[in-house]
């Protein structure tokens, strides 16, 4: 067996395509779009590379068959923000073979030590602003939009390399048939109370995103800054993410809370486009995948509540309940049958309790691992 660095477009293509072959026949596997993954992993395409570094690795067996992949990631901005010296691994996929996983992890550790990293954390696909976590519970249905998927045997293989649990990321399922709509029934009273503090709830203005996005970015970088693993997005990173999300944005599920001209709360639900992507072979939009994507959006029956947060100093005023209430109310009469609220830190008791109050059910668990190197 040998492990090689990805150093050509041919090897990058092999890196991106490996999961399609590994999970062939798995009814819950959702292929990532090739174009999106290619841009994400290409210096010059993604703004992450303007401040940080990544090295991709592929493992081949003695028959020259591809059997695993992994990325070593050194996030300079993360270490500057946390005053630490961490390295990360991500984009991990492998056959069920400990030798393969040990060899991949060894190369990641060697590369990160050359950067003087003292600890490794993962799986994180670039940063916690991107997909992260290893699925350890809830393998019975496909992941929703922008959430990872992996085989059950991954956990055992990674733990054997010396990794230990850092924290769990939780995903809650809220189904229309069991939804507690108390937040909708109380919406009028809650909003009147907020109005006394000059706080109002509204939908985002999709026609004026150039004005809205800087406010959302400022809120995101302040409201989420205490989260484990958080790293502020640069202007270019936030604009890159916003540009992608704008293509599927429905203002009904993008709600903001404002006090005067200051944005103090934000909730974003995106259509579960994985219902469409699961049907797009090997993540290729051409020749027919693009039509499945464009016409499939009208048939999507799920949402992922991707972001919901309130600035410190404005929490426990009822803003969270109003944001949830508007998301629920706006889904009434639509095709939406379920929503996943993810991901939530396992010790974020306030937000987890709020989801449980509307009958959200913990149904998937993702894990971050760490070890000193």
As beta bridge partners, residue 53 has 74
| Domain positions in the chain | 2-168, 175-367
Q: For the whole prediction, is pTM greater than 0.85?
A: yes
In a structure prediction context, what are the per-residue pLDDT tens digits for the chain, which is 373 residues long? 899 999 999 999 999 999 999 999 999 999 999 999 999 999 889 999 999 999 999 999 999 999 999 999 999 999 999 999 999 999 999 999 999 999 999 999 999 999 999 999 999 999 988 999 999 999 999 999 999 999 999 999 999 999 999 999 999 999 999 988 888 898 999 999 999 999 999 999 998 988 999 999 989 888 876 677 778 889 999 999 988 888 889 999 999 999 998 999 999 999 999 999 999 999 998 777 777 887 888 899 999 999 988 998 898 888 988 999 999 999 998 999 999 999 999 998 888 988 998 999 999 999 999 999 9
Give domain 175-367's CATH architecture: 3-Layer(aba) Sandwich (3.40)
Question: Rounded CA gap, 80 and 263, in Å?
Answer: 27
Question: Rounded CA gap, 98 and 157, in Å?
Answer: 6
Closest CA to 310 of 302, 320, 325: 320
Closest CA to 280 of 24, 25, 31: 31
How much helix, strand and coil, in percent to the nearest 5, is found in the chain? 40, 30, 35
Per DSSP, the three-state class of 369 is strand
Fold: same for 2-168 and 175-367:
yes
DSSP 8-state assignment for residue 274 = H
Phi, psi of 61 (to 5 degrees): -85, -175
Selecting from 3.40.630.30, 3.30.70.1400, 3.40.50.970, 3.90.1150.10, what CATH number does the domain 2-168 have?
A: 3.40.630.30
DSSP 8-state assignment for residue 366 = E
């Amino acid at each position: 067996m040998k492990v090689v660095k990805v150093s050509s477009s041919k090897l990058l293509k092999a890196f991106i395509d490996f999961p399609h072959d590994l999970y062939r026949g798995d009814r819950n596997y959702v292929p990532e779009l090739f174009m999106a993954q290619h841009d994400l992993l290409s210096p010059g395409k993604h703004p992450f590379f303007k401040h940080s570094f990544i090295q991709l690795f592929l493992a081949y067996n003695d028959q020259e068959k591809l059997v695993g992949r992994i990325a070593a990631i050194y996030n300079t901005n993360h270490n500057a923000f946390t005053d630490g010296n961490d390295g990360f691994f991500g984009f991990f996929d492998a056959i069920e073979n400990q030798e393969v996983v040990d060899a991949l992890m060894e190369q990641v550790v060697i590369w990160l030590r050359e950067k003087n990293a003292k600890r490794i954390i993962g799986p994180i696909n670039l940063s916690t602003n991107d997909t992260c976590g290893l699925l350890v519970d809830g393998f019975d249905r496909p992941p929703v939009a922008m959430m990872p998927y992996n085989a059950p045997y991954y956990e055992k293989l990674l733990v054997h390399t010396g990794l230990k649990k850092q924290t769990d990321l939780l995903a809650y399922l809220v189904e229309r048939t069991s939804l507690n709509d108390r937040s909708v029934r109380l919406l009028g009273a809650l909003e009147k109370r907020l109005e006394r503090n000059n706080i109002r709830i509204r939908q985002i203005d999709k026609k004026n995103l150039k004005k809205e996005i800087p406010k959302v970015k400022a809120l995101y970088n302040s409201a989420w800054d205490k989260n484990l693993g958080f790293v502020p997005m640069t202007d270019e990173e936030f604009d890159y993410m916003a540009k992608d999300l704008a293509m599927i944005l429905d203002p009904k599920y993008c709600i903001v809370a404002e006090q005067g001209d200051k944005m103090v709360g934000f909730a974003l639900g995106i259509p579960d486009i994985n219902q469409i992507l699961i049907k797009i072979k090997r993540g290729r939009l051409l020749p027919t995948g693009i039509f499945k994507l464009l016409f499939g959006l009208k048939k999507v029956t799920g949402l992922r509540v991707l972001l919901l947060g309130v600035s410190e100093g404005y929490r426990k005023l009822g803003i969270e309940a109003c944001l949830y209430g508007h998301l629920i109310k706006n889904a009434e009469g639509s095709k939406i049958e379920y929503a996943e609220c993810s991901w939530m830190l396992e010790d974020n008791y306030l937000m987890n309790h709020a989801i449980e109050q509307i009958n959200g059910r913990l149904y998937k668990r993702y894990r971050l691992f760490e070890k000193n190197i």
